[in-house]
Chain A
Amino acid sequence: MAELRALVAVKRVIDFAVKIRVKPDRTGVVTDGVKHSMNPFCEIAVEEAVRLKEKKLVKEIIAVSCGPAQCQETIRTALAMGADRGIHVEVPAAEADRLGPLQVARVLAKLAEKEKVDLVLLGKQAIDDDCNQTGQMTAGFLDWPQGTFASQVTLEGDKVKVEREIDGGLETLRLKLPAVVTADLRLNEPRYATLPNIMGAGPKASASGNGSADVAPMEAGCRRLGQGRPVNRGLPCAESQEEED
């Protein structure tokens, strides 16, 4: 049955290959002029959604991103990979810095209810803050079952079977839909957004909605005090390696 609808959350982060530099005033890292791209785990989540759609198990995929204007590029990439619609919850750049998992989870929960989706897919964590909280909090707000660190997702009628990678090995859960699933590394290998698809995503992107009118992100409860490089503990790593050999 192809009546299921999926919501995929995607985050715009600094590209994994970039050399991170801390700002001189140590309030954060340099983001100006630095290459950004979709969080790798979010790519895996989008890929999974698109594969489910190709198997005709999911009818519509909605991609959501919370953040400043540049998030439109991330949504467009999701559309180029195969999502049908995009929703950009616009947050001014100044406030975006204070946006954390709690606020995003509230937004996602409201959108999931409003769009009446059956499945919410996210990456397990973002590579910039490594929080690993958004998916879990979203499930909490919605009071939906959750399958995190998924390495395999199988839709079975009104249930979803999730195989999770945990410290002890592999755990398999069966969740009743609607549910929240977060993607881990080995779930799949995301496709490239081909240039013809990116071109086609242009009209899709302009037809997509801006979700900020319906959802107001709450005030941030956390405030970042400072950011800096790890302290050099003076341990000669290279030497200890040789000794081990």
Chain B
Amino acid sequence: MSGCELFLRTAAAAARSCRALVAFTASHRALRTSPPSRAFAKELFLGKIEKKEVFPFPEVGQEELNEINQFVAPVEKFFTEEVDSQKIDQEGKIPHETLEKLKSLGLFGMQVPEEYGGLGLSNTMYARLGEIISLDASIAVTLAAHQAIGLKGIILAGSEAQKAKYLPKLASGEHIAAFCLTEPASGSDAASIQTRATLSEDKKHYVLNGSKVWITNGARANIFTVFAKTSIVDSDNSVKDKITAFIVERDFGGVTNGKPEDKLGIRGSDTCEVHFENTRVPVENVLGEVGGGFKVAMNILNSGRFSMGSAVAGMLKKLIEMTTEYACVRKQFNRSLSEFGLIQEKFALMAQKAYVMESMAYLTAGMLDQPGFPDCSIEAAMVKVFSSEGAWQCVSEALQVFGGSGYMKDCPLERILRDTRILLIFEGTNEILRMYIALTGLQHAGRILTARINELKRGNVTTIMETVGQRLRDSLGRTVDLGLTGKLGAVHPTVADSANKLEENVYYFGRTVETLLLRFGKTIVEEQMVLKRVANILINLYGMTAVLSRASRSIRVGLRNHDHEVLLANMFCTEAYYQNLFSLSQLDKYAPENLDEQIKKVSQQILEKRAYICAHPLDRTS
């Protein structure tokens, strides 16, 4: 080959890749090239606020906003006019015509890239549409199980061949997907699954055996993302059992369903057991790496979690409309309910929770839409915990406003309450997520602080003096300034007070994290009640950050009703501030507010006898 020819070939190849890059950049979706950025929540554990991650509040371009609003119109119209949630709940299924309409609207492939027939929506757009789809919980769960987890694995970890083969039919809704991880003995403890995939003699396929339980779309789906244990030979030549993810087609044979589960809520969604008996899965259908299935599962779950925030906010906004209408019309003691303080309090709660949820969800979505692969798993988990618990609380309060009529099946409130309960359980129970939030952050902080803590333990004089000096300054009440307020501050002066509260909380949180790591070391993994408090503080901190960022932007841009936003933001920040102070004081050693020891004792005594052990109040000793 002559030098000239070689030169021409290289030039041609370069030109081709240039063109490809230009074409890629021409589309207005995010381009992923840079290395992972340090997300926000982990730095809070070190008492630092990574301002550039969260200020200013993420914005979308006018064109994208117009497009989002154009999408919202037909979806909203469809859900208000043609979806009969009561009928879906009573009959326990979503009518076939409704599903077909959802498919034709394009809602089965919202995040599938355009080149595979989907809409290629960004996380922000997906969250926006989620606000409307949540008007019917059964439909929302069915769609989410299909695309947010069912087929997401193929988008995140699939090869080009797998994407090209499966995504188009999934995007159109011709095929439906399901996510198969949970087993009867493995729920939260996902790593302990027993389903097995054994490589065949000819190494051309795996034989899959096992049972999965509580699989949404289990009966309807044709494509399953299945997680099974495979024995792999490790780098040190030992044989280990590791989880591998597979794309399994129902047509592979051996796939059967159990009967539909009779659920408390989301009764329109189809949930059942899925059994795999000697199902042959070609090796080309391994998703990601063999043995890398756990990571695939976690990535899938982490990527969709944040959208719960916007979905719940959308539902709460509708709930506020319904409930205020009732409160203004219903009269007792010759006054409408809306005039009574206790009722007004409930509306303030609903509005506040909705505001915080929205802010957190869209802040996280904005972070995820940044180029690169930002790790926002903690932020997404926090959004999920806050919105699920906020939803349960607010729906309960809304039902209370309706009083007796709220309790009747005629009123949609009881259905909404039942539908909402699952939010705290699925997609990672709130207990597990709190542990995850706390431990991931503590691990990050621990790595950074290990060096310093070792110095302290060794008795290094300089480090001891530094730390003592810091503690002295802390106890003398030095003012904290992390750069949020002031002339070059990130927040608007109107919310400066709340920003100061946030800064104070963050600083003392950072100090407390250090103390905890020093006190417990590695055994902190077992201290769930400590971790719970750490997680609760962090969730509050993230919420405060989100509302301050959003309110600052709203004031600067001049959005409608930004004064109301300032009210809500300040209200939440004050409440969260005092909650955090209490939690922080409970985390002190020998804190009188801390009742963990007593709690442990009581529960041990009850669990021993598996019953309530007090003598009856009417008992006598003779």
Using a CB–CB cutoff of 8 Å, the interface residues on chain A facing chain B are 17, 32-33, 37, 73, 76-77, 80, 192-196, 198-199, 202
Q: A17-B80, A33-B560 are in contact. Are A194 and B106 (CB under 8 A)?
A: yes
B126 smallest CB distance to A (angstroms): 12
**Segment of B65-73, B181-189, B477-485 engaged in the interface with chain A:** B65-73
B31 smallest CB distance to A (angstroms): 19
Contact of B106 among A32, A33, A73, A195 (CB under 8 A): A195
Q: Are B67 and A192 in contact (CB under 8 A)?
A: no
Q: A17-B80, A33-B560, A192-B77 are in contact. Are A76 and B101 (CB under 8 A)?
A: no
Q: Are B101 and A192 in contact (CB under 8 A)?
A: yes
Q: Are A192 and B74 in contact (CB under 8 A)?
A: yes
Contact of A77 among B70, B114, B119 (CB under 8 A): B70
Q: A192-B78, A195-B105 are in contact. Are A37 and B73 (CB under 8 A)?
A: yes
Chain A residues in 8 Å Cβ range of B69: 73
Q: A17-B80, A33-B560, A73-B66 are in contact. Are A195 and B119 (CB under 8 A)?
A: yes
Answer whether residue B467 sits at the interface, using C-beta atoms and an 8 A cutoff.
no
Chain A residues in 8 Å Cβ range of B77: 192
Q: Render B87-126 as a binary contact track against A, CB cut-off 8 A, 1 for contact.
A: 0000000000000010011110010001000010000000
Answer whether residue B75 sits at the interface, using C-beta atoms and an 8 A cutoff.
yes
- Chain A CB count within 10 A is highest, among B71, B73, B106, B110, for B73
Q: Are A199 and B105 in contact (CB under 8 A)?
A: no
Known contacts A32-B560, A77-B70, A195-B74; 19 additional CB pairs below 8 A are A33-B560, A37-B73, A73-B66, A73-B69, A77-B73, A192-B74, A192-B77, A192-B101, A192-B104, A192-B105, A193-B74, A194-B104, A195-B71, A195-B75, A196-B119, A198-B67, A198-B70, A198-B71, A202-B67
Give Cα A76–Cα B119 distance, bound, in whole angstroms: 17
Q: Return 8 A-B CB contacts under 8 Å, by A number.
A: A32-B560, A192-B101, A193-B74, A194-B104, A195-B106, A195-B107, A198-B74, A199-B119
Chain A residues in 8 Å Cβ range of B105: 192, 194-195
Give Cα A6–Cα B375 distance, bound, in whole angstroms: 53
Closest 6 CB pairs of A and B: A195-B106, A196-B106, A192-B74, A193-B74, A194-B105, A198-B70
Q: A73-B66, A202-B67 are in contact. Are A194 and B560 (CB under 8 A)?
A: no
Give Cα A77–Cα B67 distance, bound, in whole angstroms: 11
**By DSSP majority rule, is chain A's interface helix, strand, loop, or mixed?**
helix
Using a CB–CB cutoff of 8 Å, the interface residues on chain B facing chain A are 66-67, 69-71, 73-75, 77-78, 80, 101, 104-107, 110, 114, 119, 560
Give Cα A17–Cα B318 distance, bound, in whole angstroms: 14
Q: A17-B80, A196-B106 are in contact. Are A73 and B70 (CB under 8 A)?
A: yes
**By DSSP majority rule, is chain B's interface helix, strand, loop, or mixed?**
helix
Residue of A nearest to B561 (CB): A33
A157 smallest CB distance to B (angstroms): 34
Residue of A nearest to B107 (CB): A195
B64 smallest CB distance to A (angstroms): 11
Residue of A nearest to B103 (CB): A194
Q: Are B80 and A76 in contact (CB under 8 A)?
A: no
A72 smallest CB distance to B (angstroms): 8
B124 smallest CB distance to A (angstroms): 15
Chain A residues in 8 Å Cβ range of B67: 198-199, 202
Q: Are B70 and A76 in contact (CB under 8 A)?
A: yes
Residue of A nearest to B172 (CB): A196
Chain B residues in 8 Å Cβ range of A77: 70, 73
Residue of A nearest to B118 (CB): A196
Chain A residues in 8 Å Cβ range of B110: 195
Chain B residues in 8 Å Cβ range of A80: 70
- Chain A CB count within 10 A is highest, among B70, B71, B119, B560, for B70
Chain B residues in 8 Å Cβ range of A202: 67
A29 smallest CB distance to B (angstroms): 17
A57 smallest CB distance to B (angstroms): 24
A199 smallest CB distance to B (angstroms): 6
Give Cα A202–Cα B28 distance, bound, in whole angstroms: 13
A202 smallest CB distance to B (angstroms): 7
Chain A residues in 8 Å Cβ range of B73: 37, 77, 193
- Chain B CB count within 10 A is highest, among A73, A76, A199, A202, for A199
Give Cα A30–Cα B77 distance, bound, in whole angstroms: 22
Chain A residues in 8 Å Cβ range of B101: 192
- Chain B CB count within 10 A is highest, among A37, A194, A195, for A195
A196 smallest CB distance to B (angstroms): 5
Chain B residues in 8 Å Cβ range of A192: 74, 77-78, 101, 104-105
Residue of B nearest to A81 (CB): B74
B33 smallest CB distance to A (angstroms): 25
Give Cα A192–Cα B77 distance, bound, in whole angstroms: 9
Give Cα A198–Cα B68 distance, bound, in whole angstroms: 10
Chain B residues in 8 Å Cβ range of A17: 80
Contact of B74 among A32, A73, A194, A199 (CB under 8 A): A194
Give Cα A17–Cα B119 distance, bound, in whole angstroms: 28
Give Cα A236–Cα B498 distance, bound, in whole angstroms: 52
Give Cα A202–Cα B63 distance, bound, in whole angstroms: 10
- Chain A CB count within 10 A is highest, among B75, B105, B119, for B105
A74 smallest CB distance to B (angstroms): 10
Give Cα A77–Cα B74 distance, bound, in whole angstroms: 9
A54 smallest CB distance to B (angstroms): 15
Residue of B nearest to A195 (CB): B106
A133 smallest CB distance to B (angstroms): 27
Give Cα A194–Cα B104 distance, bound, in whole angstroms: 7
Give Cα A230–Cα B213 distance, bound, in whole angstroms: 60
A193 smallest CB distance to B (angstroms): 5
Residue of B nearest to A32 (CB): B560
Residue of A nearest to B114 (CB): A199
Chain A residues in 8 Å Cβ range of B71: 195, 198
Give Cα A199–Cα B129 distance, bound, in whole angstroms: 15
Chain A residues in 8 Å Cβ range of B107: 195
B129 smallest CB distance to A (angstroms): 8
Chain A residues in 8 Å Cβ range of B119: 195-196, 199
A186 smallest CB distance to B (angstroms): 17
Chain B residues in 8 Å Cβ range of A193: 70, 73-74
Residue of B nearest to A197 (CB): B106
Give Cα A32–Cα B104 distance, bound, in whole angstroms: 32
